[in-house]
Structure 1
Amino acid sequence: MKRAATAVLAGMLLFLTACTGLPTSGPVNAGNLPKDADDTQTFDLVPDPPQAGASPEQIVDGFLRAGVGAQDDWQTAREYLTPEYAPEWQPLASVTIDRLSERSAAPASPAPSPSPTTEASSIEITQRVTAEAYVSPAGEYVPAYGAPVSLPFRLVQRDGEWRIDLAPDGIVLYQEVFPSVFRSASVMYFDKTWTYLVPDVRWFPGNLIAARVAQALVDGPPSQWLDPAVATAFPDDVTLASSAVPLIDGGTTAQVELSTAAFSLDERTLNRMQTQLEQSLASVGVAEAQMTVGTTPLGAEAVPFRSTRVKSDPLVEIAGDGFGFLVADSIETIPGLSRAVEEIDAASVEVTADHRSAAVLNGSGAVLRAYADETFEVLDGSTPDLVAPSIDTQATVWSASRSDPDAFAVYPLEGDPAVITALWPSVSQLYAFQLSRDGTRLAALVRANDRTEVWVAAVSRDGGTPVAVGEPLVLATTPSEGVDLAWLDDGNLGVLLNSAQGSTVLLQPVGGRGTLLAVSSGAVDIAGGNSTVRLRTSEGALLIQRGANWEEGAADIAVLGVQQGLPE
C-alpha cells in the first residue's frame, strides 16, 4: 500500500540524514526497469575500467569514480567487483553527493575474517568522503551539509589482480558531475481542493527517465514532508502493469500500462490521473502520455488546473504616485485595493491572486488586511516584532513574531482567528516566511542551530482553513544573515542574504542544490516574478533579474509588493 510505503520512506530519510556511512539497502523504486523502456537521455560519461596491476587504493578510487557510468546498470563499476559479488551490489540503493577534493582513504589493513572465496589475501580499506547531500531510495534530495561519511571496502586478489568483494550499496558522485548523471523530475500531485498541481521534485538516473517518473507517481507515495498537503488521483489498487514505458510517435508520447483495476474508475478520476501523469512526464521532456490497460487505451483527457503565474509587471508603491503595477513609467492601480493600501502607510504588501484582498504590515508594525472595497481592518496591532505577513489562497492572513517564532496566528476571512503553535521549537529567530502560491507549502528563512537555514513545510487544512504546519524540510544552510525570501514559481525560492561581502540572492529549488547571485547594491526586500527575482534596495531602487545580472527598473520604490497569482 502507498501509505505503508510512506512510513518506510520516513524511516529511510531519518537514517540518511543521520548516518555516517552509505546506506546499504533499499532500491530507488519497486520493480525492475527494462533496459529498453525509453531513451530520453544518452549518457556521455564513460568511466575507466580497472587497470592491470592497480593497487587496492586505486581499485577503490576507480570504483567510486565509475559511479558516473550508468550504462548497462553500472557495468563498468561492477568490473571492479569480484564475479560473485558483482550481481549482489545495488548501485541505486542510495546516492551520496560529495566533494571530490576531500576524498581520502585510510591505509589498507588485513581483513580479520577473510572471505571464503579468497585465493591469496584479503584486506580492508575505509574511504572517507564529505557528503553534501544524499538522494534517498525514492529519489528525494536530502542535504547533508558536509557530513563525514566512512565507506568500508574489502578486497581480495583474483588472478593476481585486486577486486572488491564487499562494498556499501549505492554510488558516490561528486557534486559537479551529479547533474550530468541524474536528472530532476517534478512528480505532480494536486492540492486538496483539486485546483492546483504541486511539484514533488525527485532525482533519477537519466536513462529510463520516463519509466522512473511513471513508477514514482503511480506506485509510490508523495514525499513524506509534502504528503499532508497534497492529493493523488491514483488509487492504491491501481499500479503499473508493466515497468516498461515505451516512447511512441517519434518519442513524444509515453505509453503507461496500468493494472486492470483502472477499468472500474470513473471519468473524473481517470482525467485527474491523466493530468498528473502528463504534467509529471512533461517535466522530463515527454510531451504526451497515454494510459492503457493491456492494449486498450483508457481515453482519459486532462482536466484544467489553475496556474500560479503572476503579472509580469512589478507590484510596487512609489512615493507620491501610489500603489499598483509598474507599467512602463506609470502606476496601474488595482481597483479599490490600491486606495486601501495607500491609506495604511504600508511597509510590506502581499496581494491575493484575485486582487480582492492583501496582507499588509504597516509602518507601526501592525498586521492588517486590505480589501478591494477600499477598506481595511487591523488584525494584530499589539504583538511586538512582527515580520511581513503572508496571505494564502483562501485570503487567510498569516502572522508571526520575529523573536518568538514558535507560533503563527491565522486570520481567515470568515470565522475566528486561530493559532498554530509549537511548530519549530529549534528556531530562535524568524527572518521571513511566505505561503506558496498554491497554498500547500510554507517557506521560512530562520535562525536555527546557530545558523541561517531555509525551510519548507506542508500546510494541512480543514475545509480550507489551515490547521497545522508539518515537519520542515531543510533546503539550505548558510553563515550569512537572513533578510527576506520569496517564492519565484511553484518549485523555486529566492532568498535574500547579507554578509560582510554584501547582499546575495540564493536561488534555491525545493529539492536540489542552490546557486548564489551577487547583488551590487544593498537589498532589503525580495519578490518573485515568473521564475525571476525582483529586489528593492535600501535607496529605493527596483532591481530586476536578467540572467546573472541586475537591471534597474525604477527609483523611489517605497514598497515592493508580492503577488500570489492572477485573477481567473
Structure 2
Amino acid sequence: MGADREGGGRRGPVRAAAYGVCGVVLLAGCASMPDSGDLRGVDSTPRQDTQVRVFAMPPQKNAQPVEIVSGFLEALTSDDPNYSTARQYLTGAASEAWKPDLSTTVLADGPGTGPDRSDRREVSDDLTFTLSGTKVAQVDAQQSYAPASGPYTAQVHLTRDKKSGQWRIDRLPQGVVMGKSDFQRNYMSVNKYYFASDATEGTPAAVADPVYVRRRVDPMTQMVRSLLGGPTNWLQHVTRTSFPAGTALQKGVSSLAPDDQNKLTVPLNANAAHVEAATCSEMAAQLLFTLQGLTPVVDQVELRSGNQRLCSLSEDRTATYATLASANDPGYLYFVDGKNRLVRIAAGARSTDPRPEPVPGALGEGEKALKSVAVSRDEHTAAGVAADGKELYVASLVTGGSLGDPVLTSHGRTAQDRFTAPSWDVHGDLWVADRDPGAPRLLLLRQGKGQPVVVRTPGLDGRIQDVRVAADGVRIALVVAKGSQKSLLVGRIERGTDATAPTVSVLGLRSATPELEDVTAMSWAGDSRLVVVGREQGGVQTMRYVQVDGSTPEGPAPAALTGVKEITATESDRLPMVAYSADGIVRLAAGAQWQKVVTDGTAPVYPG
C-alpha cells in the first residue's frame, strides 16, 4: 500500500533533494500531522525529480487511528528498503504476516480512505478503515506489470493495545497499493534478458523481459536477483536461461556494486559452481545485457562461486553469445516510390535530398505495382503486396531476379479486406494476415515460400489489421479491429507439432495500448518498446511510445506529426524513425524535428 494523496489536510511524506531542503531535520519532523477528524483520502504527490528522496516517519505517541492509517500509507511511498518504518505502524503479528513484495496495485489517484461507519462506537478498541480507488495496473510478485481497471476496495483493521494504549494495524491486505504518480516516482521499468528457446542453429536471440523495480532501493542488486529468478510467467514458455536451476546470490551477499574498473563481480551459490565455460559466458552475457539497460557503468562481469572464479565477459564479446536487436543497425530504409517500385536509401543517410535507388531484382523494376512491402532481416529477400491488396509476391534482392507467381492470393472483395503489410521474423519466415471477412487468417510462409501455415490464435477477438514480428522472433504485435475500435495486442509465438505437422500459435495476447481506442499504425522501436499512432476516446490523433506490458516508458513522446498513415522504426535508437504522412515520407532523428525525405513515396519500412 502507498500514498498518492487525494484531498487536503494530510501531511505529506518527508522529502529531501540532493541540494538539501530541510537537511537531516526532515527525519525529525519537517511534516505536520492532524490529530483529529475522519481520514478522507491521501493527497496526490506531484511528479517530482527522480533524485528527490522520501523518508518515512514512525508513528507518533498516542497517534489516533486516522493518523496511523495515513502515516502507514505515506511510509510505503518512502525509499525504505525493507519497509521497516512502515512496519512500526503494525502489530508484531501483522508485521510478520505482511508480504509487501507480493504485489503492487496502482490506482489512478491513490487510495481514498475512510472509517467503516459500522465500527464507529463511542468506546472501541477496534476500528476498520476501507481503502478505495480505481485500478490502473498491477505489478505481481515477479515484478511484471499488467494494466488493470475497475474499482479497488480493501480493508485495514486497527486495534488498541490494552497495555500501552497505542493504536496499531493488525489486519491489512497483502502487497502494496499506491497512486499512479507515487508509482512513477518510486518504480522504474528495466529489461532483463533471456534467450529465445526456439533457436535451432546459430547465435540465439536475446529477449527482453521488462520488470518494475524500486528506483532508489539498490536497483542493480534487485535486477540481478530478478534475472536469477527466471523469466516472468508470460515469457517462460518461449525463453530459456543459462543459469542452472536454483542459482542465487551467495548467502550473505546483500548488495552489488562495480569496482573502479567498471567490472561487476557477482558471487553465486553452489548451484552454479560446475557450469561449463560456454554456459558461464552466456550467463555473463545475460547479466551484461540486463545491467547495461540500467546503468552504463558496468562493461564487464565476473562470475564467482565460493572461492572459485567461474568466468569473465566484457561488453564487446556479448555478440558471440546472443544477438541483441538494439545493438544492430540495418543497412537501408525501404519504401514504395511514385512508380510503385521498391526503392531504398542508406539507413543512416543525413542528406536532406537523398536519392532513392530501386532495389535489385523484380520488385525494384516496377513490373508489379506495390501497396506495401517487407524486407527480410538479412536484407536478401523482399515481399510485396500488390496495389489492390490481392496478391503477395516474394523475390530475391539480386540483379536479374524474376518475380514469378504470387505466393498467396486473397479473396477479399475490397483492398481493405485483403492482405495486410507482411513482416519477416528472425528465422526468415514471412507473416501476413488475410483480412477476408469470410476467412480471416494469420498466415506464415516458411522461408517465404511453400504451403502457408495457418497460425493458431486462440483468444483473438477481432480481425487483424496489421502485423509486426519482433526481432527476437518470439513476440508479435497485432493491430486488431473489433467493431469501431482498433487495439494493439502483443502475443508470444509458440512453435510445436501435432500428429501431422509442425504448428505455430500466438498465445497470451494482451493489450499494449489500454488508453487508445483507434490504433492506426505501429512499429517496434526497442527491445520491449513500440511506437504507436492512435487516438484516445474523443481525442485527436497522437503518437506515443508504449511498452509491451502496456505501461508507458519514461522519456518524451515523439515530436507531433499530423496525418500519419504508416510508421517504421528500428530497435536501435541510433537510426531515425520514419513515417508516411500528409507531407510524404518524413524522418525523426533523436533530439530533432521531423524532416522530409521524399514527397513522392509510401509504405516506409526498415528490415523486419
* TMscore range, shorter length: 0.7 to 0.9
1:51, distance to aligned residue in structure 2 (A): 5.0
How far apart in 2 are the matches of 1:534 and 1:62?
Answer: 50
1:312, distance to aligned residue in structure 2 (A): 7.9
How far apart in 1 are the matches of 2:548 and 2:311?
Answer: 33
1:396 correspondence with 2:421: no
Secondary structure, aligned partner of 2:95: coil
1:152, distance to aligned residue in structure 2 (A): 0.8
1:65 correspondence with 2:68: no
1:125 correspondence with 2:125: no
8 A contact 1:49–1:79 mirrored in 2: yes
1:502 correspondence with 2:540: yes
The one-letter amino acid of 1:138's match is Q
Secondary structure, aligned partner of 1:477: coil
Secondary structure, aligned partner of 1:128: strand
The C-alpha deviation readout for 1:476-499, integer Å capped at 9, x for no partner, is 223431212110121110111146
Of the three residues 339, 344, 361, the one matched with 1:324 is 344
1:44, distance to aligned residue in structure 2 (A): 0.8
State the match for 2:18 in structure 1: none
How far apart in 2 are the matches of 1:525 and 1:148?
Answer: 37
1:560, distance to aligned residue in structure 2 (A): 3.1
1:501, distance to aligned residue in structure 2 (A): 4.3
State the match for 2:31 in structure 1: none
8 A contact 2:373–2:382 mirrored in 1: yes
1:336, distance to aligned residue in structure 2 (A): 1.5
Which deviates more, 186-195 or 134-143? Answer: 186-195
After superposition, the CA RMSD in angstroms is 3.2
**Structure 1: 5+ residue runs without aligned partners?**
1-40
User: Map of 1:174-253 to 2, 5 A cutoff?
Assistant: 174-192=179-197, 193=199, 194-206=203-215, 207-218=217-228, 220-236=229-245, 238-242=247-251, 244-250=254-260, 252-253=262-263
8 A contact 1:98–1:174 mirrored in 2: yes
Of the three residues 132, 140, 148, the one matched with 2:144 is 140
User: Map of 1:105-504 to 2, 5 A cutoff?
Assistant: 105-109=113-117, 121-144=125-148, 146-158=149-161, 159-192=164-197, 193=199, 194-206=203-215, 207-218=217-228, 220-236=229-245, 238-242=247-251, 244-250=254-260, 252-285=262-295, 287=298, 288-301=300-313, 302-303=317-318, 304=320, 305-308=322-325, 309-311=328-330, 314-319=333-338, 323-325=343-345, 327=349, 328=351, 329-333=353-357, 336-337=360-361, 339-340=363-364, 342-365=366-389, 366-373=391-398, 374-376=401-403, 377-384=405-412, 385=417, 386-402=419-435, 404=437, 407-413=441-447, 416-448=450-482, 451-461=485-495, 467-498=504-535, 501-504=539-542
The one-letter amino acid of 2:71's match is G
The one-letter amino acid of 1:277's match is L
Secondary structure, aligned partner of 1:467: strand
The one-letter amino acid of 1:325's match is I
Aligned length: 515
8 A contact 2:461–2:482 mirrored in 1: yes
1:169, distance to aligned residue in structure 2 (A): 1.7
Which deviates more, 280-289 or 403-412? Answer: 403-412
Which deviates more, 267-276 or 280-289? Answer: 280-289
8 A contact 2:456–2:506 mirrored in 1: no
Secondary structure, aligned partner of 1:378: coil
The TM-score, its normalising length taken from structure 1, stands at 0.81
1:137, distance to aligned residue in structure 2 (A): 0.1
How far apart in 2 are the matches of 1:167 and 1:123?
Answer: 12
The C-alpha deviation readout for 1:320-374, integer Å capped at 9, x for no partner, is 5961016422335375258547433222222122211123222110222231133
Secondary structure, aligned partner of 1:413: helix
Q: Could you say if the C-alpha distance between residues 362 and 69 of structure 1 is closer, same or farther in structure 2, counting changes exceeding 3 Å?
A: same
Q: Could you say if the C-alpha distance between residues 155 and 318 of structure 1 is closer, same or farther in structure 2, counting changes exceeding 3 Å?
A: same
1:155, distance to aligned residue in structure 2 (A): 1.0
8 A contact 1:153–1:164 mirrored in 2: yes
How far apart in 1 are the matches of 2:366 and 2:279?
Answer: 46
The one-letter amino acid of 1:149's match is Y
How far apart in 2 are the matches of 1:250 and 1:151?
Answer: 48
The C-alpha deviation readout for 1:1-26, integer Å capped at 9, x for no partner, is xxxxxxxxxxxxxxxxxxxxxxxxxx
1:167, distance to aligned residue in structure 2 (A): 0.7
The TM-score, its normalising length taken from structure 2, stands at 0.76
8 A contact 2:358–2:364 mirrored in 1: no
How far apart in 2 are the matches of 1:91 and 1:414?
Answer: 50
1:535, distance to aligned residue in structure 2 (A): 1.6
State the match for 2:47 in structure 1: none
Of the three residues 97, 112, 127, the one matched with 1:104 is 112
State the match for 1:30 in structure 2: none
The C-alpha deviation readout for 1:383-420, integer Å capped at 9, x for no partner, is 42221111112221111133658631111127732333
Secondary structure, aligned partner of 1:63: helix
The C-alpha deviation readout for 1:201-225, integer Å capped at 9, x for no partner, is 111223132222222222x231222
8 A contact 1:502–1:522 mirrored in 2: no
The one-letter amino acid of 2:563's match is G
8 A contact 1:349–1:559 mirrored in 2: no
The C-alpha deviation readout for 1:292-337, integer Å capped at 9, x for no partner, is 0102211243542334233486433332596101642233537525
The C-alpha deviation readout for 1:507-537, integer Å capped at 9, x for no partner, is 1012352276573421110101434632211
Secondary structure, aligned partner of 2:278: helix
Q: Could you say if the C-alpha distance between residues 310 and 333 of structure 1 is closer, same or farther in structure 2, counting changes exceeding 3 Å?
A: farther
How far apart in 2 are the matches of 1:322 and 1:452?
Answer: 28
State the match for 1:20 in structure 2: none
How far apart in 2 are the matches of 1:372 and 1:555?
Answer: 22
How far apart in 1 are the matches of 2:255 and 2:107?
Answer: 32
Q: Could you say if the C-alpha distance between residues 250 and 131 of structure 1 is closer, same or farther in structure 2, counting changes exceeding 3 Å?
A: farther
Q: Choose between structure 1 and 2: higher strand proportion.
A: 1
How far apart in 2 are the matches of 1:254 and 1:406?
Answer: 51
Which deviates more, 228-237 or 359-368? Answer: 228-237
How far apart in 2 are the matches of 1:553 and 1:501?
Answer: 26
State the match for 2:17 in structure 1: none
Query: What is the aligned-residue identity percentage?
Result: 21
Which deviates more, 345-354 or 76-85? Answer: 76-85
Give the structure, 1 or 2, with the largest relative contact order (CA under 8 Å, sep 6 or more): 1
How far apart in 2 are the matches of 1:251 and 1:122?
Answer: 57
Which deviates more, 163-172 or 492-501? Answer: 492-501
How far apart in 1 are the matches of 2:367 and 2:63?
Answer: 77
How far apart in 2 are the matches of 1:445 and 1:130?
Answer: 27
Secondary structure, aligned partner of 1:73: coil
Secondary structure, aligned partner of 1:343: coil
How far apart in 1 are the matches of 2:468 and 2:514?
Answer: 18
How far apart in 1 are the matches of 2:355 and 2:136?
Answer: 46
